[in-house]
Structure 1
Amino acid sequence: MSEISVKEYVKRQEELEDEANKLMPYDPSHCTYSMGPIRQPIFACRTCNSIGVCYSCSIQCHSTCDLVELFDKRNFSCDCGTERQFEHGEKFTPCNIRKNTTPDIPDMSNRYGQNFKGLFCSCHREYDPNTTTTMLQCVLGLECNEDWFHDHCILGIEENPDPVTEDRKLPGFPELSSFEGFISWVCIDKYSSIFEKLLSHEACDKIIAHKVYRRDLVSDQNSEGMTLESTKKRGLEEMENSSGSYSLFLKEGYREEFKRLRDSLPEGDSLKSFFMHTAPFLTCEEKVYEPPEEQEQGSLVEMGETALAQNLSHQQTLASLVAFQQIKSKLTDFLRPFAENDKVVSESDIKQFFDTQKK
């Protein structure tokens, strides 16, 4: 194989490299356990007692496990290698990053809900990556634990069993471009007096984009539920009269408006207390921890040129590039069925591939 043919091959593989970097852009060498409870991306490991682990541990310690990506969770500490992972008498295995010799003490502030078993929304279903259903995360999350909700469940209607299209539009559901945040009826029902007071305040118009009622399919025992077609026929007004539960959709810049409202209220006001002590994160942008970015390695050609500059022989350099070629070829073959069947490639699929190569 000549150096020119290697360059030609590498050029064809650069797009694949870019895609891999997008899927796993961070350096997976920093466990966040020592940082304590922070807002960070969390993965649920259903193999290891459904614990929550950080990005790095999901790769370094749980790559062969059944993982569910939960995205950002507030005030959460990594539970990889803690007593919570082995609380049912499982054999101890250390965190591959921290190298702890005994199980560490878990953070008791961690909140565990249905998401850690891979279930979402009030319908308690697993996430389906092949659906065009919109899912929104509750920005309050005090009662629902920052759960994700389907658009049809927000409206309280049954999902249309027929295949959906990308231009799917549910009557009564706001345009995604018309709001920035979403608070679920689950949390609003828990703090109903607070939100009624908010809605009656003059500042409400600067904060609330939409107030959307839902039809309660659970408590309405005499109803067969509202399908997508029945919703079109009956109209939004009848939906609003069918249930007292509602969700709120917040305007762009709602955090700053919440802050202004908080500062304008007198001491002792229940709404002010709610913003000060119960949900202070609503009045400021939450900082989300991100693992350090992976160091840029350059293309295979650049790595080969670097090797030559370090006095490696031309033969050794080409041998290294051929090894890269072989692994890239295997990865291409692995990904081809996904492309042919228009199937979503998950992070766990990529992890499984590389784990297989180690054996």
Structure 2
Amino acid sequence: DCVVLQLQALNMSEEQTVSLVDVLEEDEELEEEASAVLAGSDSDHCSYPQGYVKRQALYACNTCTPKGGEAAGVCLACSYKCHEGHDLFELYTKRNFRCDCGNRKFTELQCKLFAEKEEVNTLNKYSHNFFGVYCTCSRPYPDPDDQVEDEMIQCVVCEDWLHGRHLGCVVPDCVELQEMICESCMNRNPFLWTYAAHLAGKDSCSSVMFSCSCVHTQLVCLLLCDLRERVSAASLSFLLDESDTVLAYENKGKNSEQTQPGHDPLMSALDNLNRVQQLEIIHGYNDMKSELKDFLQRFAAEGKVVTPDDIRQFFEQQQSRKRRRVDAGRFYSP
């Protein structure tokens, strides 16, 4: 399915071709992104017993709690075990949230992983994200009616996702920009404007720059001491907690995925086969790569877009040829 979706999105001209290597490289990038979000959360056990988890991957179920009802969020494990086949909204990550799955908000569903739950989680915070809309424009993502290519950025305070063009400021073109506070949250906490102006200095790539010149060191120290008091009073202490950041969570997920033994299922499968079987699989892989490349080049030469039906037909032909070879082998075997 991943291959189908990726190839569908590739508009190939006469000068542009796509090889299986390109597809696999893109798939690897997608897997790394998924690992960053999901590997930091438990995919087998409901997170409810852990209480209000500092940060975790969350989902909202449009099947069980549609718009017009009460907002609710479920953990990664419950999205797999309790809501399989349901219409889910991926919420990325949220902080200080306790899994709602099976509580009072779910009138016809009981959590399969942890049944003894309170009726509601009073400390959970909800937004329109839980009904599948985002940004100040309250639109879905991806938005089928929006033809503008625009990156969405998450506010570290309200944790809503906003289009770059709806932030109320110019987004710095800098990879070091990791975290953002939206204009609405800045206005709700106006004291933050003071620190943004002083601590950002001349560096437009960072909302708060902690690495300052000696001239500004004393000012920065005074501001940071005052900042700690103010953010604590405004219940924004997470802004000063580096372990709370999305970046820290993603790095935890990546490290967890890399340290797990045998996290590459293909290599694990090959290790369990003998030499002859390994060679057969490698030759089969190379044959498919060559055939897929030839198949895609025909579309590139004609300037056509590869559709899911085209890819499905390709793999059906592969399976048909494989069955004919197997049947022929059985017919002629002594």
Q: State whether TM-score is above 0.5.
A: yes
Q: Equivalents in 1 of 2:182, 2:172: separation in Å? A: 14
Decide whether the 8 Å contact of 1:133 with 1:150 is kept in 2: yes
TM-score of the two chains, using structure 2 as the length reference: 0.55
Gaps of 5+ in 1: 1-11, 157-171, 211-248, 255-259, 309-316, 322-331, 343-359
Gap change, CA 1:298 and 1:123, over 3 Å in 2: closer
* Aligned mate of 1:195, from 175, 192, 212: 192
Considering only aligned residues, what root-mean-square deviation do their CA atoms show, in Å? Answer: 4.4
Q: Equivalents in 2 of 1:198, 1:301: separation in Å? A: 50
**1:78 aligned partner:** 99
Instruction: Write the letter of the residue equivalent to 2:126.
Output: Y
- Once the two structures are TM-superposed, the CA of residue 107 in structure 1 deviates from its matched residue by 1.9
2:55 aligned with 1:39, yes or no?
A: yes
Q: Equivalents in 2 of 1:137, 1:19: separation in Å? A: 20
2:199 aligned with 1:204, yes or no?
A: yes
Q: Equivalents in 1 of 2:88, 2:123: separation in Å? A: 22
Mean CA deviation greater in 284-293 or 50-59:
284-293
Q: Equivalents in 2 of 1:198, 1:190: separation in Å? A: 15
What SS does structure 2 have at the residue aligned with 1:182?
coil
Q: Which has the higher contact order (CA 8 A, sep 6+)?
A: 2
Q: Equivalents in 1 of 2:261, 2:64: separation in Å? A: 30
What SS does structure 2 have at the residue aligned with 1:286?
helix
Q: Equivalents in 2 of 1:19, 1:176: separation in Å? A: 20
**1:328 aligned partner:** none
**Residue correspondence of structure 1 range 181-260 to structure 2 within 5 A:** 181-192=179-190, 194-198=191-195, 203-206=198-201, 209=204, 250-251=207-208, 253=210
Instruction: Write the letter of the residue equivalent to 1:51.
Output: A
2:105 aligned with 1:93, yes or no?
A: no
Decide whether the 8 Å contact of 1:120 with 1:148 is kept in 2: yes
2:139 aligned with 1:125, yes or no?
A: yes
**1:58 aligned partner:** 79
Decide whether the 8 Å contact of 2:89 with 2:130 is kept in 1: yes
Deviations 1:113-162 (A, max 9, x none): 100001101100001178620111112x2xxx311111111238xxxxxx
**2:122 aligned partner:** 108
Quote the sequence identity (%): 27
Decide whether the 8 Å contact of 1:179 with 1:252 is kept in 2: no
Instruction: Write the letter of the residue equivalent to 1:137.
Output: Q
Mean CA deviation greater in 71-80 or 116-125:
71-80
Q: Equivalents in 2 of 1:250, 1:207: separation in Å? A: 11
2:283 aligned with 1:286, yes or no?
A: no
TM-score of the two chains, using structure 1 as the length reference: 0.52
- Once the two structures are TM-superposed, the CA of residue 174 in structure 1 deviates from its matched residue by 2.6
Q: Equivalents in 2 of 1:195, 1:301: separation in Å? A: 50
Decide whether the 8 Å contact of 1:43 with 1:58 is kept in 2: yes
Decide whether the 8 Å contact of 1:262 with 1:275 is kept in 2: no
Gap change, CA 1:341 and 1:253, over 3 Å in 2: farther
- Once the two structures are TM-superposed, the CA of residue 199 in structure 1 deviates from its matched residue by 5.3
Query: How many pairs were matched up?
Result: 237
Gaps of 5+ in 2: 1-20, 66-70, 212-217, 282-291, 297-304, 309-334
What SS does structure 2 have at the residue aligned with 1:183?
coil
Q: Equivalents in 2 of 1:91, 1:110: separation in Å? A: 21
What SS does structure 1 have at the residue aligned with 2:192?
helix
Q: Equivalents in 2 of 1:198, 1:119: separation in Å? A: 31
Deviations 1:183-242 (A, max 9, x none): 1111112122x1344356xx43449737xxxxxxxxxxxxxxxxxxxxxxxxxxxxxxxx
Q: Equivalents in 2 of 1:24, 1:60: separation in Å? A: 18
Q: Equivalents in 1 of 2:85, 2:149: separation in Å? A: 28
